[in-house]
Amino acid sequence: MPEKLDTAAWYRRFALIETRGYSATYDAWCTGISEDSDVLQLLDQLPAAKRQPNLLLGAARFHGAQPVPYPEFRAFLLERWSQVRETMLARSTQTNEAGRCAVLLPLLAQIAADSGDENTPLALIEVGASAGLCLYPDRYGYSYDGGPVLSTGDVPGPLVMECATTGGPPLPDRVPHVSFRAGLDLNPLDVANDDDVAWLEALVWPEHTHRLDRLRAAVAVARREPPLLVKGDLAVDLEDLVQRAPADATVVVFHSAVLAYVDEVGRGAFRDTMLRLTADRHRPLHWLSNEGYGVLPGVEGALKKEDVEVDRLFVLAHNGRAVARTGGHGQALDWLSR
């Protein structure tokens, strides 16, 4: 829970900052919950970390909640609370948005080009990988500012990531080759498990049908070529996974919308690990971070939020230095001039 916010304020803020203008259904639901003493009382019986708006919304959708006005949703929630509660306690928010590859690709291509040999492959390691759908940037297509599709072959329509850019980012002319893809997660999701896939689908917001289509197409890619997913803690188990990367590949460790769910001690330990790994000259390693403002304190070059900016923007950083602001689902890339 954000510091100094009670549950009602948390849901009110989520409605205003995260959902308004982005999901009318979730805006109405979270606003309603913030004013509903009965539902708030149920939520307050959960551990603080399990009261997250996204977790409740996903759990309700997982059990069949439809995009209806709040009074009908409220009735559903109260009737099915035991099931919703059980899912909230058992699962966590693990949105796996493949569209974020669109904001990562310019840096991935730049890293590949700077390796000294255009044939040098990338070894991708994602922290907080969920089902690993962001580990396939070379299997997707990209259209920046409505331009031609960049891909390595025929890509179905839902897997063409559309991204609007500002600030003149270094847009790639080729998709880098990936020879190794692995993910680390406290609870990896299995694309071969129907319940896990249903959970991923439940985390897509109701109005975002294009994202649901994209998710299903990305799941099909991962089912054909399953990634290596390791159950483990980002501050403890990452280095062992890095050691498994091929010696002839350039290692890139990346993460997106993960650190907000890690406590301050864990963030600090992860930051220290990444700064040490990127400073190691024996095995060059790149670190890409695409996270909300303020989740990487103490990193030189981290970007602070300006007063006019909304919280739903992310900050894209390379080796701890901010290079862009990004849309949370990869739909926008605002390159920084510095």
pLDDT at 309 over 80: no
State the average pLDDT over residues 203-217: 96
Model confidence at 217: pLDDT above 90: yes
Using alpha carbons, list the distances in angstroms from residue 103 to 97, 170, 187, 238, 311: 12, 11, 25, 23, 18
Residue 59 pLDDT > 90: yes
pLDDT score at 180: 96
pLDDT at residue 283 in the model: 82
- What CA–CA distances, in Å, run from 98 to 37, 49, 299? 37, 25, 26
Render pLDDT for 238-247 as a digit per residue (tens, 0 to 9). 999 999 999 9
Give per-residue pLDDT as tens, 109-148.
Answer: 999 998 766 678 999 999 999 999 999 999 999 999 999 9
**CA–CA dist 261, 269 (Å, integer):** 14
pLDDT digits (tens, 9 = 90+) for 147-162: 999 999 999 999 999 9
- Is the confidence at residue 4, as pLDDT, over 70? no
Classify residue 204 as exposed, middle or buried by CB count within 10 Å of its CB (0-12, 13-18, 19+).
Answer: buried
Mean pLDDT of 150-178: 95
User: Does residue 303 register a pLDDT over 60?
Assistant: no
Give the mean pLDDT of 196-219: 97
Give residue 301's pLDDT.
52
pLDDT beyond 70 at 297: no
Question: Residue 317 has what pLDDT?
Answer: 92
Q: How high is the pLDDT of residue 69?
A: 98
Confidence of residue 262 (pLDDT cuts 50, 70, 90): confident
- pLDDT score of 295 more than 60: yes
* Top-confidence range, 76-90, 117-131, 225-239: 76-90
pLDDT band at 171 (very low <50, low <70, confident <90, very high): very high
**pLDDT at 133 (0 to 100):** 98
| pLDDT at position 213 | 97
Please say whether the dihedral angle defined by the alpha carbons of residues 245, 111, 333 and 312, taken in this order, is positive or negative.
Answer: positive
The pLDDT mean for the chain works out to 91
pTM check: above 0.75: yes
Tokens of 240: 């062992």
Q: What is the pLDDT of residues 65-77, one digit of tens each?
A: 999 999 999 999 9
Residue 2's pLDDT band, with cuts at 50, 70 and 90, is low
pLDDT for position 267? 86
Q: Residue 270: how many CB atoms within 10 A of its CB?
A: 22
In percent, the amount of the chain with pLDDT more than 90 equals 77
Question: 302: pLDDT confidence band, cut at 50, 70 and 90?
Answer: low
Q: How far apart are CA 114 and CA 120, in angstroms?
A: 10
Q: Does the structure show a pLDDT above 60 at 81?
A: yes
Eight-state DSSP code of residue 318: E
**Residue 55 pLDDT exceeds 50:** yes
Task: Give the confidence band of 308 by pLDDT, cuts at 50, 70, 90.
Answer: very low
The burial class, CB within 10 Å (0-12 / 13-18 / 19+), for 297 is exposed
